[in-house]
Structure 1
Amino acid sequence: MKKKTGILFFLALVCGSVSSYAQQVIPSAKFALQGRAFENAPKFHRIDTAKYSELPAAVKKLYTHAAGMFITFKSNTSKLSLRWKTVDAALGNNSTPIMSRGFDVYVKEASGWRFAGVARPDLNLAESKATLVEDMAATEKEFLIYFPLYKELLDFDLIIDDKASFVGTRQSFAKKVVIYGSSIVHGASASRPGLAYPAQLGRRLNANVINMGVSGNARMEPAVADMLSAIDSMDLLIMDCVPNSSPDEVRERTFNFVERIRRSHPQLPILLIESITRQVGNYNLKWRTRLTEQNRNFKLEYERLLQAGYKNLYYIPTDHLIGDDSEGTVDGTHPTDVGFERMLKIIGPKVEAILENSP
């Protein structure tokens, strides 16, 4: 009798364990993809690279990265997990795996979005499965999940409790801000996706901030200007592209780039941001000279645009953008979370003021 009772207890324990981990899988097709410029882009790409065939090959490849994209939904699940696949498992040498190939999640509170957890990718395989957060109270919450910044995302499934509720949501924004720029805009070297400065700016302003960063390849080509011009309903375009453009490219392309965009958006406010003061130039004289010439030429082109009669142009110089203690980057070039926080203290109020004063 004792043996039978023991077996029944064991079976009850196993069944209870299984039921407590019962899951429902929500495929990616159930979500509204948010945070990208064009609704008709394929897969999880930021743009339709076939449509914009004149873009440089490297730029097209980088726009297959899911940087800045996110999903939102409501659920009363106690546990939140993801199963996903990226194009490969390679990692940059100045980035965290979570930023490059992982996800992070926020929960909406009365005060705004609050960080809740991360999905850590497998370091060796392109396919990963991870829990973002667990042991939550079974009350309905609205979640926001940011996509990987530096990889092409092939597919994902959300995994929640078996009996949990699920409703996909779409955020409503009053303003749309597009940021074109270098690896700094793309997200290097935030520790996780939600800490890239476009994502932080979006949460701060409750605005639809579109990340159009192209790591190492923001060089103001005419084809890029034409692609950006095709984005509708922009309230502000930010040009944070100086770090990738040579001093000569800055001098030769800035005026034409703005002029080309203004053909389609004659009143669009445009904010030009100088390159951060790269700390790699503290002792490297070549880098220091390059940075000085880049920013000097950018300022001269901004002044030339004003002299030509262009209105609604704004400017942020490099001063204090990354701080003044040489401790704001991971490698002398790319901001850490500290560096991005410092940038936002200057960029955020400027963007708020521009949007408030725009019709």
Structure 2
Amino acid sequence: MTRSHGGVDPTKLDANMRLTAASDTTLAWRSPLEEPFRLCGFPWLEKDRVYRRLPVSPSHSLRPAVDSLANCTAGGQIRFRTDAASVVLKAELAGPANMYHMPSTGQCGFDCYIGSFGEQAFVGTTRMKLTETTVEYPLYELKGVPRIMRTVTIHFPLYQGVKSVWIGLDADAAVEAPEPFIDDRRIIFYGTSITQGGCASRPGMAFTNILSHRFHREFINLGFSGNGKGEPELAHLIAQIERPALLALDYAANVTAEQYIATLPEFIRIYRSVHPDTPILVISKNPYAQEQINTAMRERRIVCRDFGRELVEKLQEGGDRNIAFQDGDVLLGEDFEECTVDGSHPNDLGFRRMADGLTPILHALLP
């Protein structure tokens, strides 16, 4: 027998690895921009009508990198209730998958959960060829299963822009608005690539999305990969987001110690001038795997960590009772290096641990 020593194509060997089309051709296509769907995670959507995390025409200038990254739809969600047996998603993306250390399902995919608050269960993720920018894929199909009303939550891609989205449902399906959040105030996270969701295997595994299932509130993800610099322009824009329940600042990984020391107090001051009582959580950066052999890298993290803690304590002593500090050293656990894809960006285990570590302090801080 002649053995082949060529590359392996799993899609030819395993049917579960192949792309499949929706079997129902009688779908009714609906826009999530219309009633009764609810869109979350895009604070300026009502004004701009685009899937973008910062305003199209901001009042303060943005660096080009931040302006571009704002088009990534991390944290966006579509929520609704339906008795449809088939839920199919069709979308046009701004670009194809192109990351070497993050699955395309996380970078460019939409994933779907069913169930009410506290009971959400993952059921499906869109799939597409790596070179394509359009997707039409069933999130779930329940042929032969009794039709009942279910709450559906669909997460947007973490590292790609989205030009259009359509939801395909059985033509005779009922569609209703989801149950309202327990509180309409938003939880805002500002930070880095880790905040944005790099490198989760699918959107629902980003830690902010995990937390959103636990707290049943709208989460706004303002992670800007490599560009969480703490600049005052972002503080002014974030302060414009209405109905904040909490602001978390987790950007130390993208700046030098000197930059962090210079920007953090001013960022907090700007935000406090508009929201004097909104809880603020300062989070120090996670340790990186190379810190075990790179002393300078470890020392920079420690300097930033200690400064953040001391600043929070100083502000507390000055009368700010709604500010707290979270030590990022402990979020991933003692074997933190095994919780990453590349020594810095968390894998799904790392994101789960981050969410677990942040859950108690969010409970303590939220109004």
Counterpart contact for 2:79–2:152, Cα < 8 Å: yes
For the residue of structure 2 that corresponds to 1:82, the secondary structure is strand
Question: Which residue matches 2:154?
Answer: 145
- The worse-fitting range, judged by mean Cα deviation, of 226-235 and 31-40 is 31-40
Question: Where do 1:254-293 residues align within 5 Å?
Answer: 254-293=264-303
Question: Which residue matches 1:230?
Answer: 240
Counterpart contact for 1:28–1:158, Cα < 8 Å: yes
Question: Which residue matches 1:8?
Answer: none
- The worse-fitting range, judged by mean Cα deviation, of 116-125 and 268-277 is 116-125
Compute the displacement of 1:74 (Å).
Answer: 1.9
- Unmatched 5+ residue regions in structure 1? 1-17
Whether 2:84 is the aligned partner of 1:77: answer yes
1:7-55 Cα deviation digits (max 9, x unpaired): xxxxxxxxxxx99642222234334322222332441111213224412
From 306, 317, 320, the equivalent of 1:310 is: 320
1:41-96 Cα deviation digits (max 9, x unpaired): 44111121322441212111111111111111222221221111111103222211
- The worse-fitting range, judged by mean Cα deviation, of 48-57 and 121-130 is 48-57
Counterpart contact for 1:102–1:120, Cα < 8 Å: yes
Partner Cα separation in structure 2 for residue 19 and residue 149 of structure 1: 28
For the residue of structure 2 that corresponds to 1:105, the secondary structure is strand
**Matched residue type, 1:131:** P
Partner Cα separation in structure 1 for residue 364 and residue 210 of structure 2: 17
Question: Which residue matches 1:332?
Answer: 343
Question: Which residue matches 2:353?
Answer: 342
Question: Which residue matches 1:108?
Answer: 115
- The worse-fitting range, judged by mean Cα deviation, of 132-141 and 191-200 is 132-141
Whether 2:310 is the aligned partner of 1:300: answer yes
From 33, 39, 42, the equivalent of 2:39 is: 33
Identity fraction in percent: 28
Question: Which residue matches 1:211?
Answer: 221
For the residue of structure 2 that corresponds to 1:178, the secondary structure is strand
- The worse-fitting range, judged by mean Cα deviation, of 272-281 and 26-35 is 26-35
Compute the displacement of 1:205 (Å).
Answer: 1.1
For the residue of structure 2 that corresponds to 1:327, the secondary structure is helix
**Matched residue type, 2:26:** A
For the residue of structure 2 that corresponds to 1:112, the secondary structure is coil
Question: Which residue matches 1:5?
Answer: none
1:272-328 Cα deviation digits (max 9, x unpaired): 111011123222334223322332332333334335443311011133211111211
| Structure ID, larger Rg | 1
Compute the displacement of 1:179 (Å).
Answer: 0.8
Question: Where do 1:186-205 residues align within 5 Å?
Answer: 186-205=196-215
Aligned length: 339
Compute the displacement of 1:108 (Å).
Answer: 1.4
Whether 2:166 is the aligned partner of 1:157: answer yes
Partner Cα separation in structure 2 for residue 152 and residue 52 of structure 1: 22
Whether 2:53 is the aligned partner of 1:46: answer yes
**Matched residue type, 1:297:** F
Partner Cα separation in structure 2 for residue 188 and residue 340 of structure 1: 10
1:138-185 Cα deviation digits (max 9, x unpaired): 222121111111111000111122322233447324142111111111
Change over 3 Å in CA distance of 1:59–1:32 after alignment to 2: same
Partner Cα separation in structure 1 for residue 295 and residue 263 of structure 2: 25
- Unmatched 5+ residue regions in structure 2? 1-21
For the residue of structure 2 that corresponds to 1:122, the secondary structure is coil
Partner Cα separation in structure 1 for residue 104 and residue 87 of structure 2: 19
For the residue of structure 2 that corresponds to 1:130, the secondary structure is strand
Counterpart contact for 1:42–1:48, Cα < 8 Å: no
**Matched residue type, 2:71:** T
Counterpart contact for 2:60–2:236, Cα < 8 Å: no
Counterpart contact for 2:32–2:78, Cα < 8 Å: no
Counterpart contact for 1:173–1:208, Cα < 8 Å: no
Partner Cα separation in structure 1 for residue 162 and residue 60 of structure 2: 21
Normalising by the residue count of structure 2, what TM-score does the alignment of the two structures yield?
0.86
**Matched residue type, 2:137:** A
Counterpart contact for 1:185–1:212, Cα < 8 Å: yes
Change over 3 Å in CA distance of 1:110–1:310 after alignment to 2: closer
Change over 3 Å in CA distance of 1:159–1:287 after alignment to 2: same
Partner Cα separation in structure 2 for residue 106 and residue 28 of structure 1: 16
Partner Cα separation in structure 2 for residue 304 and residue 335 of structure 1: 31
Whether 2:257 is the aligned partner of 1:247: answer yes
Question: Which residue matches 1:66?
Answer: 73
For the residue of structure 2 that corresponds to 1:33, the secondary structure is strand
1:250-269 Cα deviation digits (max 9, x unpaired): 11111111011100111111
**Matched residue type, 1:337:** D
Counterpart contact for 2:24–2:86, Cα < 8 Å: no
Partner Cα separation in structure 2 for residue 93 and residue 173 of structure 1: 39
Change over 3 Å in CA distance of 1:236–1:108 after alignment to 2: same
**Matched residue type, 1:154:** K
Counterpart contact for 2:285–2:329, Cα < 8 Å: no
